Structure 1
Amino acid sequence: MSRVVCDSFFYVIEKKQHYRLKTGLLFANLLRSEKIQLNDYINGLKEVLPQADDLKIDIPKIWDCLAELLVDVICEEVLPLRELHSCCHVLIEQKQADKLLAPLFKLMVSRKGPMFLSSIWKQSNLRVEDFVSDNVTAGFIQDNQLEFLVGGKIKMSFEEMQEALCKVISTSSEIDSISNWISSNIEGQLKENTFIRALATAITIVSLDNKSKLSLSKLTAFQKLITLYVDNDSNKEMQYLYAIQTLINKMEHPQGLLLQICNCLYDMGVISEESFLAWEKDEDPAEQAGKGVALKQLTSFFTQLKENDEDEEDEGSASGN
């Protein structure tokens, strides 16, 4: 069976990326279902990796190719990182292990996010120095943005942050639990617009039933969470509205959904009247995607807001007289 692993790698190593990724996924499934034993897979891999340096003459992107074959068995957690380390013994001696780790970790982060890599790295009790020479460790970490492996904060993209927040807030109804997770994982990005937009998007997605129908009870349940992070800050309130505008535009403007969301946010008092009106008038070129359609759907909403303003001004004038 170890020969099957070895021959399969060499069979697809020069083919298109699609075949390498499918082969990697095949072995992940075979290992999970125990059709192939982990020791057999490891022995096959130990036959392949020592030949990588010689193969780079004919296959300049050999390290990327190997990373594509390995990413699924790591991401599916059927090949522990410590076992990968044992397979890389010859590469470590040749000071080539960093050339495999760089594209492999890049694929892993792209596939499952930095939090996943950070988690399994901690579980392995490995150090970067176990793979990479001390004199190049710092450069390897910096060049590949892997600071989080040595205690640095994880820097997440909008998509990674949104996906992670969706998972957290959909599985926990406790505000303290959610805020503790946010403090532990996104602390360094709390002041960035990306965080508020990701939070707004995640809350809205989790508050939907059947993907396009709003559950008022679900959205209302997030009132304290929204208030905690928006905190009557006009810029954050605007970012929240930008995020909803972007999401609704991606959803191709389901009839009545945006109006329901805005009515609920206004009734909860988490987005002020001033911020809604500022968003309506905003002409930032970078924020115009879907804006026209959104405003048409909110005609009655803004009409009501302005009538409320006029009523308050009339009452103020009457009391003054």
Structure 2
Amino acid sequence: EDSRNISHEQSRNESDAQLSNTSSSVRVDKTYNHSTTIINQDLSNTTFDEEKTIARVHALIEKYTENYSNLTDRPVKEALEDLVAFSTRSFDQQAIIVREVFTNVLDAKPRARRVVGDLLDAAHNENIISEKAFLAGVKMIIEAAPDYTVDIPLIWQYIGEIIGAFIGARASNMTLLKPIFECVPDDKAKLFFQVIIRYATKFSSQSYIQSFWQSSGFSLNDLIKANLIDSTFSNEFDWLFDTPEIEQSTSQTKESHSPHPDMQLVKLFKSVNDQGTIVTDSEIITYIREHMGPSEKFYIRNIVLSYLEACLINRDPQKKIQEDIAKKRMTVLNAIIEHKLEAEIQAVYAIQNFVNKLEHPPKMAQLLFDIFYDEECVSESTFFEWRQNPDQSETEGHVVVEISTIDIFTWLQHTESELGAGEEEWEN
């Protein structure tokens, strides 16, 4: 559709002109200390047609954004194959490709900007686009941003959304923020940072972005001038420097030996409120069945932890559960758990594990117990089984959760007593 692509030819022409004026400076741009393999930048070995490159990127992005699905990585693979078919080892061409990927979705829906962030990550990770070429392309779009502002007032937000999706994909991408921010005007830096981190968190999770940030070793001063950082701004991002609440597994081997959320499943659960990308329950169930197996040791726990991670909001200063997601997505858990005792028990232990790692936010465990009971995902008898016969290998946090949920157990016991008395009266 038209909204997927830039309709402002004047802005594009100005951007293209800016590229030709700065292409020589791009090639001698700063050297960044990263380990990614750099594709050969010797233009004498390869040539390319800029107009054809722009047209190919336009067609590629239109097809890719239309076919993209959260349930399979096939559209990404196909887009990479298309990209390889016309991209060369030319540094300038790669930079133009990056620039055009951005410009083709600047006035599209938020979903399109998110998915091209995924594509840029994949192209960078596969070394189809070198790190220096990626940074050069981003620099060109940032330098051209003032030319787009008249037609696209939210240009900085839209660029930030794409970069947010890109850096949220893997830890190493976070390190590219420093050279990116060297190109950002001082008066845009704070807003740009806010948008990038907000969208990176939305498309990944706050705990992962926190971990990525800490692995980069950055301070806010590395990206934004100290005199621009006030206490309000600093406090807003204090959580980036806190001890991670939910540790990211250091390897796939470690993950296989402990319960952990599936980050793609987290995105699917969260999509209930994502503009234009509401994923149905049946699609989520399909993803679970295709990517996770009942034979896995932590099958139920991983699903429930993914659900809980998607429901978590406002980690700082107060941690809460977003109840609309919690209730709307409970049908998925019901379809997977199917009132099986062992599955229900694993769901309760997932809640215990989740709340314990968050250091027991006030009333969170009770709220989750209420939701799982009210939505008929976990039965009364299962809750009492968890309370009265705790698994000795799952004692961490059990007592604290038991104490914090005492009201619901008191209510359940009272309800059970009333039902028992009513049955006796009926029999008499």
TM-score class normalised by the smaller sequence: 0.5 to 0.7
Post-superposition offset of 1:241:
4.8
Aligned positions of 1:109-188 closer than 5 A: 109-139=201-231, 141-142=233-234, 145-149=236-240, 151-152=241-242, 170=259
**Residue matched to 2:60:** none
Shift of 1:104: 0.7
- Aligned match of 2:143: 50
1:145-165 superposed Cα distances (whole Å, 9 cap, x missing partner): 21123x4567x8xxxx7x99x
Match of 2:188 among 82, 96, 99: 96
For structure 1, list consecutive stretches of 5 or more residues without a partner in the other structure.
174-188, 198-206, 230-235, 283-294, 308-321
Query: Could you tell me how far 1:125 is from its partner in structure 2?
Result: 2.0
TM-score (norm 1): 0.58
Please tell me the residue identity of whatever aligns with 2:101.
S
The amino acid that maps onto 2:157 is: D
Name the CA shift for 1:60/1:79 in 2 (closer, same or farther; >3 Å).
farther
Alignment of 1:7-22 (within 5 A): 7-22=100-115
Residues 73 and 79 in structure 1, CA contact (< 8 A), matched pair in contact too: no
The answer to whether residue 392 in structure 2 is matched with residue 267 in structure 1 is no
Give the alignment partner of residue 279 of structure 1, picking from 408, 411, 418: 411
User: Quick one: percent identity of the two aligned structures?
Assistant: 14
Deviations 1:21-75 (A, max 9, x none): 2222222222233332222222211211122244323322112101121122211
1: distance between equivalents of 2:136 and 2:345? 51
Instruction: Specify the code of the residue in structure 2 equivalent to 1:36.
Output: I
The 3-state SS of whatever aligns with 1:170 is: coil
| Aligned counterpart, 2:88 | none
The residue matched to 1:215 in structure 2 has which SS?
A: helix
Question: What is the letter of the counterpart of residue 279 of structure 1?
Answer: W
Tell me, yes or no, if the aligned pair for 1:25 and 1:72 is still in contact at 8 Å: yes
Q: Is the 8 A contact 1:32 1:78 kept in 2?
A: no
Q: Matched residue pairs, number?
A: 243
Provide closer, same or farther for how the CA distance between residues 219 and 136 of structure 1 changes in structure 2, counting only shifts above 3 A.
same
Give the equivalent residue in structure 2 for 1:287. Answer: none
Q: Is the 8 A contact 1:31 1:78 kept in 2?
A: no
What's the offset of the Cα at 1:121?
1.7
Distance 1:110 1:194, change over 3 A: same
Matched to 2:389, the amino acid is M
1:32 maps to a residue whose letter is: N
Summarize deviations over 1:116-159 as a string: whole Å, max 9, x none.
Answer: 2222222222221122221221346347x21123x4567x8xxx
What are the Cα deviations for residues 247-293 of structure 1, in whole angstroms up to 9, with x where unaligned?
A: 2434xx25xx41331330343386589745642499xxxxxxxxxxx
Give unmatched runs, 5+ long, in structure 2: 1-93, 250-254, 261-296, 298-314, 324-332, 357-361, 391-398
Aligned residue in 2 for 1:303: 420
Distance 2:238 2:210 in 1: 10
In structure 1, the residue corresponding to 2:150 is in which secondary structure? coil
Cα 1:302–1:240 change in 2 (3 A) is farther
**How big is each residue's C-alpha offset from its partner over 1:89-123, in whole Å with a ceiling of 9 and x where there is no partner?**
2315x442222111111112223333222222222
Alpha-carbon shift at residue 6 of structure 1 (Å): 0.8
Q: Which amino acid aligns with 2:411?
A: W
More helix by share: 1
Q: How many angstroms apart in 2 are the aligned matches of 1:118 and 1:39?
A: 25
Q: Tell me the equivalent position of 1:246.
A: 371
TM-score by length of 2: 0.45
Distance in 2, Cα, partners of 1:128 & 1:138: 11
1:220–1:264 CA contact under 8 A, matched in 2: no
- Distance in 2, Cα, partners of 1:127 & 1:275: 44
The aligned residue for residue 214 of structure 1 is: 341
* CA offsets 1:162-185 (integer angstroms, 9 cap, x no match): x99xx89626x9xxxxxxxxxxxx
For 1:109 and 1:220, locate their aligned partners in 2 and report how far apart those are by CA, in whole Å: 25
* 1:5 aligns to 2:5 (yes or no): no
Say if 1:95 and 1:132, in contact at 8 Å, map to a contact too: no
Amino acid at match of 1:104: I
2:196 pairs with 1:71: no
**What letter matches 2:159 in structure 1?**
L
Q: Measure, in 1, the Cα distance between the counterparts of 2:343 and 2:101.
A: 53
When residues 38 and 137 of structure 1 are mapped into structure 2, their CA distance, relative to the original with a 3 A threshold, is same
Q: For residues 216 and 51 of structure 1, do their structure 2 counterparts lie closer, same or farther at Cα, with a shift above 3 Å needed?
A: closer
**Aligned partners of 2:347, 2:172: CA distance in 1, in Å?**
43
Q: Is the 8 A contact 1:71 1:107 kept in 2?
A: yes
Question: SS in structure 1 opposite 2:128?
Answer: coil
Distance across 2 between alignment mates of 1:268 and 1:153: 32
